């Protein structure tokens, strides 16, 4: 009779589901899981903080379009991971968190790393959370957790394994490992709604397509380009959808926030096709900054709860973005074709001129203007580099200049605005895309939150390049205080003249210190050529505020 443990059954189920990597920080309550990984050769990317384990699993899931898996131990392990779980929940990222727990029945005995109900803590920020109470149930629970996480709308799940359950000996022959675990059937749009959408777009004079995360998650880049080219409708895109319509394409009109710069009546859309996009503060749906309140709206999302959440919808399609685009393309006939050349040219002109406000910047100032720093970083990159933007205003400066030609090559803050996610997230992206160059742009505030992950990059040989835009300040906080209370009333916003490059060197990475604009591109190229993880510390001016931050602050 072959014996095993409950933890080992969890690993066997993960392997059956096709999991090839987990992210974790060891804790005694996880011993059975770690021994299962060792026995079955499931690689463990061990990090320095549980939040980073969760962020790495998120990055792996989003960049690899797959399930991310994180192991976190009991007590402080799960509480440390809470921000990541909430981040995955709001960003609809499929991550399976398996957490350790004190023995069953020990909740009121003051046991170490126990004393509270972990599931009660995570239920509001997960799609599903459950506790295994006997080892033979673990395969079924792991399989179900994966199905829930990967079914649209995707999201995080938590499975708690008490230490006595995971370490319990069981007869392997009595265990049943589910053979079919994950399944995905894209939701089709209703034909009548597709016809209504086509009629609405055909009647518009200034239609626009807004591409969100759903375009990337459904692999709809080819269909997006085909429909845009057939109809002539310009495309705005953000986050993972950046590059679905290449920045060099004649119908690419800019980021979603570019719409906020269109103020003249003949520049504002009168009809919008929003694909895989959720409206909220980041998309300014409530304030109508993106498009007029009276503009016709076709909203497509896999989650019907998002349709009409913020603003009224003329055609609501609860369906997969790629399947909807395919249906729209099939229904789009010659009778619907119309001339949008003047509209296209008007948008193209506005997009090409949106950087004019920075054209006269003094490039010889003592500290580098962050816009010029971000532009120099982007200009130095290979075209297929994967970009991660973290650090509040650091990410917003990067967004001002980002130009991507490949979908799923740009990631930044989601609905939670989780400052400091970037280092862990970049680790997951690099593991998911081992042949890609990965660059993270982060502020000096954000980089301090999980700085020890430079050690993780060094130990695991991950050639991630991290650029710190160092303005010696919590820049977004400073500017928000200026707006609310007036200049000169700042408090708790100053940071020291830290040498993050030297600190990263101490953790085994390469370090570069940059104070001149002309030295940025050579530092970025040298860092990637070195083939080792690197930290580039760039001294930038703290006074300027990114345009997108200004819009967000005035909309808060």
pTM of the model: 0.94
The pLDDT tens digits for 445-469 are 999 999 999 999 999 999 999 999 9
Catalytic residue among 417, 448, 460, 508: 417
Average pLDDT, the chain: 90
What per-residue confidence (pLDDT) applies to 351? Answer: 56
Peptide bond into 153 cis (omega under 30): yes
Catalytic residue among 77, 113, 212, 369: 113
Most confident segment among 63-77, 256-270, 392-406: 63-77
DSSP 278-293: --SGGGTTTTT-SS-T
| C-alpha to C-alpha distances, 230 to 143, 180, 238, nearest whole angstrom | 42, 40, 22
Which of 82-86, 248-252, 263-267, 430-434 is predicted with the least confidence, judged by mean pLDDT? Answer: 263-267
The pLDDT tens digits for 145-178 are 999 999 999 999 999 999 999 999 999 888 889 9
Give the mean pLDDT of 13-36: 96
What per-residue confidence (pLDDT) applies to 286? Answer: 47
| Coil/strand/helix, residue 20 | coil
What per-residue confidence (pLDDT) applies to 287? Answer: 47
Q: In this predicted model, which residue has the larger pLDDT, 360 or 217?
A: 217
Residue 29 among the catalytic residues: yes
| C-alpha to C-alpha distances, 170 to 139, 144, 164, 176, nearest whole angstrom | 12, 21, 12, 12
What per-residue confidence (pLDDT) applies to 1? Answer: 61
| Coil/strand/helix, residue 439 | strand
Q: In this predicted model, which residue has the larger pLDDT, 106 or 474?
A: 474
In this structure, are residues 247 and 310 in contact, taking their beta carbons and an 8 Å threshold?
no
Catalytic residue among 7, 27, 50, 413: 50
The pLDDT tens digits for 421-438 are 999 999 999 999 999 999
In this structure, are residues 13 and 37 in contact, taking their beta carbons and an 8 Å threshold?
no
Grade residue 81 by pLDDT with cuts at 50, 70 and 90.
very high
What per-residue confidence (pLDDT) applies to 555? Answer: 58
Which of 172-181, 247-256, 283-292, 377-386 is predicted with the least confidence, judged by mean pLDDT? Answer: 283-292
Residue 16 among the catalytic residues: no
Give the mean pLDDT of 353-373: 70
Grade residue 58 by pLDDT with cuts at 50, 70 and 90.
very high
The pLDDT of residue 364 is above 90? no
Residue 50 among the catalytic residues: yes
- Pairing verdict, β 3-5 and 169-171: antiparallel
Catalytic residue among 6, 7, 27, 29: 29
Give the mean pLDDT of 408-414: 92
What per-residue confidence (pLDDT) applies to 536? Answer: 98
- Give me 290's structure tokens: 């993106």
The pLDDT tens digits for 513-527 are 999 999 999 999 999
The pLDDT tens digits for 184-194 are 788 999 999 99
First to last CA, the chain: 63
The pLDDT of residue 477 is above 50? yes
The pLDDT of residue 266 is above 90? no
Domains of the chain: 3-174 (3.40.50.970), 191-353 (3.40.50.1220), 356-555 (3.40.50.970)
The pLDDT tens digits for 310-357 are 889 999 999 999 999 999 999 887 556 667 888 888 887 665 555 556
Element (H, E) at 139: helix 138-150
Q: In this predicted model, which residue has the larger pLDDT, 481 or 389?
A: 389
Give the mean pLDDT of 214-222: 96
What per-residue confidence (pLDDT) applies to 480? Answer: 82
What per-residue confidence (pLDDT) applies to 285? Answer: 46
What per-residue confidence (pLDDT) applies to 430? Answer: 98
Q: How many CB atoms lie within 10 A of CB 266?
A: 11
Percentage of the chain beyond pLDDT 70 is: 92
What per-residue confidence (pLDDT) applies to 356? Answer: 59
Q: Which of 208, 198, 228, 114 is nearest to 163 (CA)?
A: 114
Q: How are the residues of the chain apportioned to helix, strand and coil, as percentages rounded to the nearest 5? A: 45, 15, 40
What per-residue confidence (pLDDT) applies to 270? Answer: 93
């Amino acid at each position: 009779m072959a014996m095993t443990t409950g933890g080992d059954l969890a690993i066997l189920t993960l392997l059956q589901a096709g999991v090839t990597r987990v992210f974790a920080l060891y804790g005694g309550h996880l011993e059975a899981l770690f021994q299962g990984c060792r026995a079955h050769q499931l690689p463990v990317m061990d990090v320095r903080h549980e939040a980073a384990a969760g962020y790495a699993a998120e990055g792996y899931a989003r960049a690899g379009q797959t399930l991310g898996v994180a192991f976190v131990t009991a007590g402080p392990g799960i509480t440390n991971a809470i921000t990541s779980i909430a981040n995955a929940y709001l960003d609809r990222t499929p991550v399976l968190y398996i957490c350790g727990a004190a023995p069953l029945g020990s909740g009121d005995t003051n046991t170490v790393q126990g004393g509270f109900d972990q599931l009660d803590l995570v239920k509001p920020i997960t799609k599903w959370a459950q506790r295994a109470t006997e080892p033979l149930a673990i395969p079924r629970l792991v399989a179900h957790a994966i199905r829930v996480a990967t079914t649209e709308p995707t999201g995080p799940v938590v499975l708690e394994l008490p230490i006595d359950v995971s370490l319990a000996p069981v007869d392997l022959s009595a265990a049943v490992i589910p053979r079919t675990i994950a399944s995905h059937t894209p939701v089709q749009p209703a034909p009548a709604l597709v016809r209504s959408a086509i009629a609405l777009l055909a009647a518009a004079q200034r239609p626009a397509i807004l591409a969100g995360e759903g375009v990337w998650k459904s692999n709809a880049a080819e269909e997006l380009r085909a429909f845009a080219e057939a109809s002539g409708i310009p495309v705005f895109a953000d986050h993972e959808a950046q590059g679905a319509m290449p920045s060099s394409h004649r119908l690419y009109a800019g980021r979603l926030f570019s719409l906020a710069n269109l103020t003249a009546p003949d520049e504002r859309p009168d009809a919008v096709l929003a694909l895989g996009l959720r409206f909220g503060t980041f998309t300014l749906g409530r304030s109508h900054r993106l498009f007029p309140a009276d503009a016709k709206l076709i909203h497509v999302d896999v989650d019907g709860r998002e349709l009409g959440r913020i603003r009224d919808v003329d055609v609501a399609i609860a369906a997969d973005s790629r399947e909807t685009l395919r249906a729209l393309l099939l229904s789009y006939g010659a009778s619907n074709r119309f001339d949008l050349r003047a509209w296209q040219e008007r948008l193209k002109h506005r997009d090409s001129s949106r950087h004019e406000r920075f054209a006269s910047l003094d490039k010889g100032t003592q500290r580098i203007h962050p816009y010029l720093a971000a532009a120099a970083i982007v200009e130095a990159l290979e075209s297929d580099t994967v970009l991660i933007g973290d650090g509040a205003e650091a990410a917003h400066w990067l967004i001002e200049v980002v130009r991507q030609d490949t979908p799923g090559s740009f990631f930044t803050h989601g609905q939670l605005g989780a400052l400091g996610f970037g280092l862990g997230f970049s680790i997951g992206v690099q593991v998911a895309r081992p042949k890609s160059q990965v660059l993270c742009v982060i502020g000096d505030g954000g980089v301090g939150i999980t700085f020890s992950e430079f050690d993780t990059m060094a130990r695991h040989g991950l050639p991630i390049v991290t650029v710190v835009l160092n303005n010696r300040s919590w820049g977004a906080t400073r500017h928000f205080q200026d707006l609310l209370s007036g200049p000169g009333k700042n408090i708790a916003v100053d940071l020291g003249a830290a040498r993050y490059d030297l600190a990263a060197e101490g953790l085994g990475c390469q370090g570069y210190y940059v104070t001149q604009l002309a030295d940025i591109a050579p530092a970025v190229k040298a860092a990637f050529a070195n083939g080792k993880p690197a930290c580039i510390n760039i001294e930038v001016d703290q006074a300027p505020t990114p345009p997108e931050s200004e819009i967000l602050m005035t909309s808060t």
